[in-house]
Amino acid sequence: MGKLDRRRREILELVAVSGFMTIDGLATHFDVTPQTIRRDINEMAEEGLIARYHGGAASVSTTENAAYTDRQVLNLDAKRKIAHLVARHIPEGASLFINIGTTTEEVARALSEHKNLKIITNNLHVAQICAANPGFEVIIAGGVVRQRDFGIIGEATIDFISQFKVDFAIIGISGVDEDGSLMDFDYREVRVARAIISNSRQTFLCTDVSKFGRRAMVRLGHLSEIDALFIDSHPGKSWNEVLENADISVYTSNQANN
């Protein structure tokens, strides 16, 4: 198998795992020029293997997320930096929801030095992480446990969440569409996330930049419903108008002044 075939096969694998890869990111990964990657993407898109977007390529699937074990390690360093940035904006003694997601799990770890937090979660991984802190009160939502990632979903979960009104919601997302729509793959998870947003005084969206431009099937809401976006780097000039219209605060972990 030639180098070209191997590279394109690996591009396909990377895009399948992450949902979206930038041209610059792929060029760095393969140590080739952006023009070379752009040519690969164009030809693969014509074959229907991937979806081509401005600045990168995305998976053609909008119905199924990558496996949880893959998402745990994908962009892990970026997720940890985002998580520590979020933790700096959570005061001692606050109440918060933390929902399903590998980035939100990193936020739970980053909060380990906080005191007197009250945490309500529909994520069993988050519950286990936070329960290790004797100064935290951890409340687990009832409902159906989704085996692939230990998230809790369903009508009972929504009813449970609706009993509370908390200071902060910490949520993740699978994709942000070009119009600022927040997208995910499971409508049951989305309904719980909607309840979390509705019952929080402030909502923090935590995501790495690869989710911008990534498509999924179920609409959760819009960036304009979010108070602050925590991200590893700015998604680029093409998103400036969407972010400005959403009137959302943006905090990037790669800027020392945040």
Question: At which residue do the structure tokens 């180098």 appear?
Answer: 3
The backbone torsions φ and ψ at residue 145, rounded to the nearest 5 degrees and listed phi first, read -85, 120
pLDDT given for residue 75 in this prediction? 63
pLDDT of residue 68: 47
- The beta strand positions in the chain, using DSSP E, are 20-22, 51-53, 56-58, 95-98, 118-121, 137-140, 144-146, 151-153, 166-171, 175-176, 181-184, 200-206, 218-222, 228-231, 249-252
- Give yes or no for a contact between 88 and 78, defined as CB atoms under 8 angstroms apart: no
DSSP, collapsed to helix, strand or coil, labels residue 95 as strand
Task: Give the model's pLDDT for residue 220.
Answer: 94
DSSP-based three-state secondary structure for 24: helix
Q: What is the CA radius of gyration of the chain?
A: 18
Please check whether residue 105 is in contact with residue 149, taking contact to mean a CB–CB distance below 8 angstroms: no
Closest CA to 44 of 70, 63, 26: 26
Give the predicted TM-score (pTM) of the model.
0.75
Q: Which residue(s) pair with 175 in the sheet?
A: 183
Instruction: List the chain pLDDT tens, one digit each, 258 residues.
Output: 456 678 888 888 788 776 778 888 899 999 999 999 999 998 888 877 787 877 788 776 654 454 544 554 456 788 999 999 999 999 999 999 999 988 999 999 999 999 999 999 999 999 999 999 999 999 999 999 988 889 999 999 999 999 999 999 999 998 899 899 999 988 999 999 999 999 999 999 999 887 888 778 899 999 999 999 999 989 888 899 999 999 999 999 987 444
The pairing of strands 228-231 and 249-252 is parallel
- Residue 212 DSSP class: B
Pick left, alpha or beta for residue 70 (phi over 0 → left; psi -120 to 50 → alpha; otherwise beta). alpha
